[in-house]
């Protein structure tokens, strides 16, 4: 839950979604079928980045992130 809260806060703070929109974060989504959808989202304050895909209607799919001192990537060896 800590990861989801951190990601949701970062998404809102950086304006990567509409301010009035509820955001749902899917952290463990796989992108093997559509790697061209992925985008790097860089934090305005330089605290890190999120690599993933925002569908425009409220779901932010995250493949990898490095925010503050926390890092996560979607791979078989990634901690759950």
Whether the per-residue pLDDT at 2 is higher than 90: the answer is: no
Bridge-partner residues for 1, per DSSP? none
Within 8 A by CB and 6+ apart from 17, the residues are 11, 23, 54, 58, 60
Dihedral, 51, 10, 78, 30 alpha carbons, nearest 10? -50
Backbone angles phi, psi at 19, to 5 degrees: -60, -25
Q: Residue ranges per domain, the chain?
A: 2-73
Whole-number pLDDT of residue 58 = 87
Quick one: how far is CA 1 from the chain centroid? 14
**pLDDT tens digits for 10-49?**
999 999 988 888 889 987 666 776 778 889 999 999 989 9
**pLDDT tens digits for 43-74?**
999 989 999 989 888 889 888 899 987 777 76
């Amino acid at each position: 839950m800590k990861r989801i809260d951190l990601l949701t806060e970062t998404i809102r703070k950086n304006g990567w979604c509409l301010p009035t929109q509820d955001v749902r974060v899917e952290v463990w989504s796989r992108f093997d079928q559509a790697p061209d959808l992925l985008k790097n989202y860089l934090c305005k304050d330089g605290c890190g980045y999120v690599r993933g895909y925002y569908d425009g209607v409220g779901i932010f799919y995250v493949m990898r992130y490095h925010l503050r001192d926390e890092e996560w990537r979607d791979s078989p060896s990634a901690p759950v």
